[in-house]
Amino acid sequence: MSSLVVSVLLCLVSAVCYAAAAIVQERVAASGEGGAYGPLRRPSWWGAVALTGVGAGLHVVALAFGPLSLVQPLGALTIVFALPMAALLVRRPVGPVGWRGALLATGGLAGLLALTGPARTESLDAGQRPGLAMGAVVTVAVVSLGARWARRPVVRGVVLACAAGIAFGMASVFTKAAAEDWTAHRTDALVPTLITIGLLASAGMLLSQASYRGAGLSAPLATVTVVNPAVAAAVGITVLGEGFRYGLSGGLLALAAGAVAASGVITLTVHDSDRKAGREREPEPLSPADPGSRPPLLPADSGPRPSHPADPGRPSLPDGPGPLPRLPASRPRCRSRSRFLVSARSASKPG
């Protein structure tokens, strides 16, 4: 078996692991048990963390067997695997709009990564890492705080997914730098780099978990899938001197591919938002025993009462508020019985 086939198989298994982890995270967030720190007490959430770690490890191994131009686009298959897996495992319908948004996001990201030029031999200098790490932390914090001003849960989830994608992308950059330090036997900046990787990866995991709360699966997962490699590619271009293939034409094509990926994310966001709003507007059926199904009582000043057919034996009620009419005096029903008692007493007297 050639190294290229091994790389492709590892990428496919890695994408399946990422997709399964995303589905478990979304189900944990949908349960809403235990508040913000509730997922930390759920074994299923830690299973999702383990699946994410396995997927990341397989992705790194795939990079050792195959070229970056092939491995990175195959990593975008996570959203494509996640939708049918969610429909099969948790009975979540996808629909044509969801498929269209997922394919747009995946195709645009694959085109963007395919146009990225080969990695150069330059590595991230030790002097550049503190500033880059501080900038990443500040950016993630600002984007995360910006999610508080989002009114719709889906929009808030997409903003948090952007922050998670930035954290994961910067963690990938520092992971590459740590691997180069280990290969070159440079241990001066290795420990601070590993600490930075741990902080960024943990922040990305927690933010991605928060992004699924009330936002569904498709939009947050597509956002993380697009933002993560896009941030890594942007750092490679601006800091490491990498570029796009085919010069200016490749740059324009990469811009178009980025627009296609963004349109896919927007499609998924609008689709999930509309579906959630329609679910909230759907009236719930009322049972006969439910007190809410009974008609409300009319207050005293609510206007004229509904009219009823006339009954000769029943006095009519007034149409508006006011004193009730006096009922006519009725004759006593026990008059015959009282006469019988009086006659009986008179008969029992002597003489």
pLDDT band of 199, cuts 50, 70, 90 = very high
The predicted pLDDT at position 293 comes to 46
List pLDDT tens digits, range 90-138: 777 777 887 888 888 888 877 877 777 665 556 778 888 899 999 999 9
List pLDDT tens digits, range 3-27: 778 888 888 898 899 889 888 888 8
Residue pair 149/182 in contact (Cβ under 8 Å)? The answer is no
Number of structural domains in the chain: 1
pTM above 0.85, yes or no: no
Segment 127-153 mean pLDDT: 91
Q: Name the maximum alpha-carbon separation found in the chain.
A: 142
Out of 53-57, 227-231, 248-252, 274-278, least confident range: 274-278
The predicted pLDDT at position 350 comes to 54
pLDDT band of 65, cuts 50, 70, 90 = confident
In a domain, residue 173? The reply is yes
In a domain, residue 336? The reply is no
In a domain, residue 289? The reply is no
245-176-74-230 Cα dihedral, nearest 10 degrees: -60
Radius of gyration of the chain, Cα coordinates, nearest whole angstrom? 36
The predicted pLDDT at position 309 comes to 54
User: Which of 153, 268, 130 lies closest to 210 in space, CA to CA?
Assistant: 153
The predicted pLDDT at position 167 comes to 93
The CA distance from 170 to 19, in Å, is: 21
In a domain, residue 192? The reply is yes
Residue pair 206/147 in contact (Cβ under 8 Å)? The answer is no
pLDDT band of 214, cuts 50, 70, 90 = confident
23-28-30-35 Cα dihedral, nearest 10 degrees: -150
In a domain, residue 133? The reply is yes
Whole domain around residue 224: which residue ranges?
3-280
Out of 127-141, 194-208, 249-263, 283-297, least confident range: 283-297
The predicted pLDDT at position 143 comes to 94
The predicted pLDDT at position 161 comes to 92
The CA distance from 195 to 74, in Å, is: 28
